[in-house]
Amino acid sequence: MRILLIEPEYRNKYPPLGLMKISTFHKLQGDYVHFFKGCSKELLSKKWDRIYIATLFTFYWKKTIQTIDFYKNAVKNPNNIFVGGVMASLAGDEIEAETGVTVVRGLLDQPGMLHTKSRLIVDHLTPDYSILDEIEYKYPVSNAYFGYATRGCPNQCEFCAVPKLEPKFYGYAPLREQVEGIESAYGTQKDLVLLDNNVLTSSRFKRIIQDIIDLGFEKGAKLGNRRRHVDFNQGIDARRIDEEKIKLLSSIALNPIRFAYDTEGIKKCYEKAVKLSSRHGMYRIGTYVLFNYDETPQQFFNRLEFSVTLNKKYDVQITSFPMKFVPFQHRDRSYVSERWNKRWLRGLQCILLATRGQVSPKPDFFHAAFGENYGEFEKIVSMPEHYIIWREKHRRNEAVDWEKLFMRLTTAQRSELLDILNEGRVTKERIAQIAGKKLKDILEHYINEHELAK
């Protein structure tokens, strides 16, 4: 058969492991396989027996559906287009109704799922790294073994998609077989990236750590003159950290160690995890910080600031990564929770554009970006977009005038300003409808802010 593998043209950090394993499966059948990222008119002129299209998050809905529709005429029957991955598992019925293609939900973890006569389990196959050389796009994370030591997660967090994507928890996946399979076929890779959702829940965690060490990723490991790194990129559950587990983690080349600090409710567990990490020599920490879910902007700011205070307290370097919550059913990123508002979400996005999505562990940088306190944070996320992104450029001119006007507003006037800004773009016609000189004057700063922010 002639097999075409497609990944929509969105930016993503990691290569599509699902497609890479499907490539291996079909090549073992003797099929011809081609991989492409995006839409190619040239590929439409060639007839394919099957097309597999990967999906990521539901907020890529429009681009993904456009990609599916684009390739419909490249197969004899739309049923021969197979769509899988995150969005397919979360919104499979909607995809089928809108496109008429075949949706593959969840993992390819049973024999016969792609070919009834084959007993191969696709999810257990070695990913085909060679297909990555067929495209111009370069994934930011490369030169690494990609694999799993466990699958799924027993937690049932309401904001998390894992229970739907991997509903069954498998406490041990033979890591050595995965790494040795990649090495045998594609050579030695420098790093080890593990996509586990909650490795600490495994009863065989000690065995997993020993596997990692046996594969050459002990603490301080090098490949030539370059340090090797292990990355549990989905994070380590801070609530399950104890002295024994952190000691085991410190015995491998884990850099950084990643946690999630999604609610103030796990504050004590989070601090304990940071403290134990420091005690065992793991000073570089990455922390995922959820927002736009069920906590307020002030609680979000408090969590960011708390990590900054822990840096000095435990002599660590915590880099936080704010992660916006978007419900599974939403088809874009526009969702605004009851406790947030559209303007502040956009203001926070502008801050993160300026900081490249990261929150610095250095107090001076943090307070410069997010404010000395929550009141300043509210002020910053209320600023015109170009003043936020190009803070240094505007510090001594227009932004100073804006700040003077903002500080003169009463609480009621600030609330009215926020309501107006939440409506969308500010125009001269809208300003003319406003009563009160103070509001009129400050709203002048928001005209054409989107263009000026570019």
Asked if residue 19 is part of any domain, the answer here is yes
Residue 129 lies in a domain: no
Listed residue (346, 356, 369) closest to 418, CA to CA: 346
**Residue with the two structure tokens 């601090």:** 271
> Where does residue 325 fall: left (phi above 0), alpha (psi -120 to 50 degrees), or beta otherwise?
beta
Output the pLDDT for position 394.
59
Residue with tokens 């992660």: 323
One-character DSSP codes across 356-392: TT-B-SSHHHHHHHH-SSHHHHHHHHTS-HHHHHTHH
The reply to whether 373 and 399 lie within a common domain is no
What is the length of the chain? 454
Q: What pLDDT, on the 0 to 100 scale, is given for residue 377?
A: 97
Burial of residue 344 (CB within 10 Å: 0-12, 13-18, 19+) is buried
Token output for 96? 């089928």
Nearest to 386 by CA among 372, 373, 374, 397: 397
User: What are the Cα distances from residue 279, in Å, to 169, 192, 199, 305, 449?
Assistant: 31, 24, 21, 22, 47
Rounded distance between C-alpha atoms, residue 107 and residue 151, angstroms: 10
Distance CA 424, CA 443 (A): 12
Taking the C-alpha atoms of 151, 152, 153 and 156 in order, what is their torsion angle to the nearest 10 degrees?
180
For 272-301, the pLDDT digits (tens) are 999 999 999 999 999 999 999 999 999 999
Query: Domain boundary residue among 206, 232, 255?
Result: 255
What is the DSSP pairing of strand 81-85 with strand 102-103? parallel
Residues 319 and 429 in one domain: no
pLDDT tens across 213-263, in order?
A: 999 999 999 999 999 999 999 999 999 999 999 999 999 999 999 999 999
Per-residue pLDDT tens digits for 254-263: 999 999 999 9
Q: Residue 95 belongs to what domain range?
A: 2-124
Tokens of 131: 């297909």
Residue 395: its pLDDT value, please? 60
The verdict on residue 261 lying in a domain is no
The residue whose two tokens read 């000189």 is 437
> What is the tally of structural domains in the chain?
4
**pLDDT-flagged residues of the chain (< 70):** 394-396, 454
- CATH number of 116's domain: 3.40.50.280
Looking at residue 301, what is its pLDDT? 98
Let me know: does 123 contact 111? Beta carbons within 8 Å: no
Task: Tell me what pLDDT residue 123 has.
Answer: 94
For residue 287, the model assigns a pLDDT of: 98
Dist CA 441 CA 453 (whole Å): 20
12 & 109 share domain: yes
**Sheet holding 144-147: strands in order across?**
144-147, 191-194, 230-232
Residues 157 and 244 in one domain: yes
Q: Rounded to an integer, what is the distance from CA 117 to the centroid of its chain?
A: 37
Determine, yes or no, domain membership for 354.
Answer: yes
Asked whether residue 120 falls in the same domain as residue 153, the answer is no
Q: Are residues 16 and 76 in the same domain?
A: yes
